[in-house]
Amino acid sequence: MLREFPDPVTGFPLRWEAAKEGSAISHSEHPHVADQAELSRYQAKRVAARRAGSTYAFDLPGMLKLALTMKWIAATSGSS
C-alpha cells in the first residue's frame, strides 16, 4: 500500500511512501510505473480532478483502503 504525495501546483506525484514502513519510493522504484503513456493518461485525469477540487473516482477505493490501513496500524500499535 502506497501513499502518494502530489505537487500542490501541478498535481503530479513527487514521491510515494509505503504505508507501514514510511520509506520514500522514487518514480523508478514505483511498482505501477510500467508504461509512462498510461501513467500520464491517468495522471492527467487526476490532475484535472484535483484542480476542480475533487478526486479521481478510480482513486477512491485505494484512498479508503489506505485510510483504513493507517487507522488500523494506529489502533493496534497503541494497544501493545
d(CA 26, CA 9): 19
Residue with the larger pLDDT of the pair 78 and 29: 78
d(CA 46, CA 24): 21
For residue 72, the model assigns a pLDDT of 92
In the predicted model, what is the mean pLDDT of residues 2-31?
65
At 19-67, the pLDDT tens digits run 665 555 555 555 555 455 656 777 788 878 888 888 888 888 888 888 8
pTM above 0.75, yes or no: no
What is the grid cell recorded at 78?
497503541
Structurally, the chain folds into a number of domains equal to 1
For residue 25, the model assigns a pLDDT of 54
For residue 55, the model assigns a pLDDT of 84
Element (H, E) at 15: strand 13-18
Domain that holds residue 64: 2-78
